[in-house]
Structure 1
Amino acid sequence: MAGAASISFPKSLLAAAALVTSVGAASADRKPTDPAPPPPEVPIALLVDLSSGQTLYAREPDRRFMPASITKVMTAFTAFEMIAAGKVSPDQLIQVNDEIWQDWHGVGSTMFLEYRQRVSIDALLHGVTTVSANDGAAALGAGIAGSLDKWVEQMNATARSIGMRDSHFGTPNGWMDEGKTFVTARDLATLAEAMITRHPDLYERYFGHQRLKFNGFEQRNHDPISGVIEGADGLKTGFTNQAGYGFLGSAERDGRRLVMVVAGAPTGRIQRATSRAFIEWGFQAFRGHPLFAKDAIVGEASVQGGSSRSVNLMAVRPIGYDLPAGQTGDVRLTIRYEGPLRAPIAKGEQVAELEIAVEGLRPSRVPLVAADAVDEANLAERLVNGLAGLF
């Protein structure tokens, strides 16, 4: 790939370093020896470390399944994107229209919205993320987009924009729709990564809460790990008779952010036990090795046609790598980008990736962003850059 640049680091920094293979669906039993491996009761399971991009465990990660209420994470993320873009505000009021109330009042999980109630986007998001409110998700989508059809179109457009290549949404809340709504574990991990990376403040505000009081009702969150597993803070459970029990979850400890997916569990008990054991196994069976702090400068990339001939590349979150407990090896780091980059470049724009690799093992990648904006070069800057290029 054009613009690839290798980086060397002191041996003291990378002492006793190695990587674990990204495990594919056909090799789910290729995992480190550990006294408590992930329980086998679910047909779909995926565990990813966001700090390294490594897949720590995978079973059928690209198999399509119905996500049920996990769909609401996509609804929340779509709203987060619109809040961040300034298109809507959390304190903006939405009126529950007649159709939404008639279709969703008392249907499944609910936040007990009242007939024609005016309610803030903030309250609706809390209802969606904390008590899985079907009525809240529908009211939120219709209120922002004008109709549920338009909202679902926006959900799918947003999913495509972040690289969810094998998923489709037919509802804002995951209610049964004859299979129109489907996802894969890999796509859900992509969604969780985008949400946590792009909108950390909104993620912290709306996910991981144990209870919700609204309209005189107090309900608890059914998230099986938040408040139980150290560092756990979300995301969302899902259940229908067709889909079984599933969970998209995340936890952070000592700079390591793990995202997990389990799906197709036959009972809620198995889903809860599997989720807790799975995420705990990820922290215990692997050791994290830090490389760069959040906002650290990792390297630079060449720029063409800009006011500067290069731009610094910055880590958007802590970057490290995982090793199976007790194993060692050598790490190679390479910056990858299609280059030279063309100006203009916005500050914070993702323009490159850091590849973390070890000989014989599948490399992983994490995003790097421009540390500063680079404007298009004016005439004088183009002349200077042209002369500099000659030398």
Structure 2
Amino acid sequence: MRPFLPRLMAVGLALVLTAAQVHAFETRARAAFVMDQTTGTVLLTKNADEALPPASMSKLMTLYMAFEAVRDGRLAMQETLPVSQHAMSYGGSTMFLDTTDRVTVEDLLRGIIVLSGNDACVVIAETLSPDGTESGFARLMTRRARQLGMTNSTFANSNGWPAPGHRMSMRDLSLLANLLITEFPEFYPMFAETEFAFDGRAPSNVRNRNPLLRLNIGADGLKTGHTQEAGFGLVGSAKQGNRRVIFSFTGLESEKDRAEVAEQMVSWAFRQFSETTLAREGERIAEANVWMGKFARVGLVPAEDITVLLPVLAQGKVKGEVIYNGPIQAPVTKGAPLAELVLTPEDLPEMRIPLVAEADVPEGGFGVRISTATSVLAAQFGIGGSAQTEATQ
């Protein structure tokens, strides 16, 4: 009979971290989400899962699907596409396309990224749509978003033009930004381009509206948005040193507010947090009890360096806690996942880091089985007994 504790916790760790209370960033935005991409740490959430009008920020989903199509060979960068009357009919920010144009995919992508072209989005959408319509592509966008984990996103068109039910959350937009950065590094530099003078036909619309790109703070994307319904918003990213921050917000009253909040948010994320290496790969964090093994315990170690993001100003202490289902049944294989290190820094989400077996623990021999059985029987009848006698590894 094997004794079993469903959640046995080892708390006497040598690992003690320093951390301090960080006051959450106060933002005028209606909704916001900030994450450190390097460590995956969420730094700020404000109404982050509320489905809101995303305005032109939803063009990022059209871009993602266009990049997928290029990668899969369904589109070619120098391929030229026709412009429909429907695409030409859109107002707002456009490339000023008309039905006599045939435009390369590369120009259309830049037209969406730099110029926020509503018409360019529709040309891409109608090309990739299952039924050749923008609405058909919007349904495809919604389905693909769900597959990617964007649970609060529903699309009615390809470009964010105000429409009932066209919604995204700030968390979903940040997730999408992360996918664009990590999955399409060959295309991502386009998001940092500050100007695109397509065909010289729209001198009033050649500049990227992202207010951070010219500030020399590491900003390199991604997309602004504005409608009367949504207010002013931005999905942004910046890299300083080895760290990258991704953020999104919406609901501000002016371009000036958007620029100020964006710069403040980036400054806060980089200045108030820093990376800390808590333990190295293979460094023993704790031990787990082993049942019927040659050794009574096995070391628990991280499979890779544990690097987390913590507040810069350190005052208090944050203790780690190791949680595992135990005792662990022998045999145990080196590198097998056995436990989690749970960290709870103040004002930051709980962090869970997997721990693995430090070494092999084979099944115990005849002597171990006899002594273990004796111990169990003795414990049941309250007569005392011996424990496993073989050495601890």
Question: What TM-score does the superposition give when structure 2 sets the normalisation length?
Answer: 0.69
Structure 2 letter corresponding to 1:177? A
Aligned-residue identity in percent: 29
> Which of these residues, 144, 153, 175, is aligned with residue 167 of structure 1?
153
> Which of these residues, 83, 92, 99, is aligned with residue 108 of structure 1?
92
> Which of these residues, 174, 181, 189, is aligned with residue 189 of structure 1?
174
Q: Secondary structure at the match of 1:131?
A: coil
C-alpha distance after superposition, 1:4-46 (max 9, x if no partner):
xxxxxxx9xx8x85678xxxxxxxxxx614xxx7453222121
Change (3 A) 1:331 1:64: same
Residue 275 of structure 2: aligned partner: 288
Tell whether 2:200 aligns with 1:210.
no
Matches within 5 A, 1:243-258: 243-258=230-245
Conservation of the 8 A alpha-carbon contact between 2:54 and 2:230: yes
Q: Distance in 2 between matches of 1:113 and 1:259?
A: 32
User: Runs of 5+ in structure 2 lacking a partner?
Assistant: 1-13, 283-302, 325-336, 355-393
> Which of these residues, 278, 295, 315, is aligned with residue 265 of structure 2?
278
Residue 93 of structure 1: aligned partner: 80
Q: Secondary structure at the match of 1:156?
A: helix
Change (3 A) 1:93 1:355: farther
C-alpha distance after superposition, 1:308-361 (max 9, x if no partner):
xxxxxx99xx99421111227568699x9xxxxxxxxxxxxxxx9x98741466
Q: Distance in 1 between matches of 2:108 and 2:161?
A: 17
Change (3 A) 1:89 1:289: farther
Structure 2 letter corresponding to 1:32? V
Change (3 A) 1:280 1:238: same
Q: Distance in 2 between matches of 1:77 and 1:366?
A: 30
Q: Secondary structure at the match of 2:192?
A: coil
Q: Distance in 2 between matches of 1:88 and 1:215?
A: 22
Q: Secondary structure at the match of 2:196?
A: strand
User: Runs of 5+ in structure 1 lacking a partner?
Assistant: 1-10, 21-30, 298-313, 337-351, 368-391
Conservation of the 8 A alpha-carbon contact between 2:344 and 2:351: no
Q: Distance in 1 between matches of 2:233 and 2:174?
A: 13
Tell whether 2:133 aligns with 1:153.
no
Q: Secondary structure at the match of 1:238?
A: strand
C-alpha distance after superposition, 1:208-227 (max 9, x if no partner):
11011102134101102112
Conservation of the 8 A alpha-carbon contact between 1:53 and 1:366: no
Q: Distance in 2 between matches of 1:109 and 1:355?
A: 50
C-alpha distance after superposition, 1:230-271 (max 9, x if no partner):
110111111111111111111111111111111111222111
Change (3 A) 1:144 1:176: same
Conservation of the 8 A alpha-carbon contact between 2:192 and 2:222: yes
Residue 121 of structure 1: aligned partner: 105
Residue 66 of structure 2: aligned partner: 79
Residue 55 of structure 1: aligned partner: 42
Q: Distance in 2 between matches of 1:143 and 1:355?
A: 47
> Which of these residues, 231, 235, 241, is aligned with residue 218 of structure 2?
231
Q: Distance in 1 between matches of 2:341 and 2:97?
A: 48
C-alpha distance after superposition, 1:184-216 (max 9, x if no partner):
111111111111111122112x21110111021
Q: Distance in 2 between matches of 1:160 and 1:94?
A: 28
Q: Distance in 2 between matches of 1:160 and 1:355?
A: 29
Conservation of the 8 A alpha-carbon contact between 2:19 and 2:313: no
Change (3 A) 1:331 1:226: farther
Tell whether 2:185 aligns with 1:200.
yes
The number of residues matched between the two structures is 308
Give the CA deviation at 1:277.
0.6
Q: Distance in 1 between matches of 2:277 and 2:241?
A: 10
Q: Secondary structure at the match of 1:90?
A: coil
Conservation of the 8 A alpha-carbon contact between 1:69 and 1:175: yes
RMSD: 3.7
Structure 2 letter corresponding to 1:109? S
Q: Which has the larger radius of gyration?
A: 2
Q: Distance in 2 between matches of 1:113 and 1:171?
A: 18
Residue 135 of structure 1: aligned partner: 119
Structure 1 letter corresponding to 2:208? N
Give the CA deviation at 1:154.
2.1
Conservation of the 8 A alpha-carbon contact between 2:87 and 2:120: no
Conservation of the 8 A alpha-carbon contact between 2:19 and 2:345: no
Conservation of the 8 A alpha-carbon contact between 1:244 and 1:266: yes
Question: What TM-score does the superposition give when structure 1 sets the normalisation length?
Answer: 0.69
Q: Distance in 1 between matches of 2:110 and 2:221?
A: 13
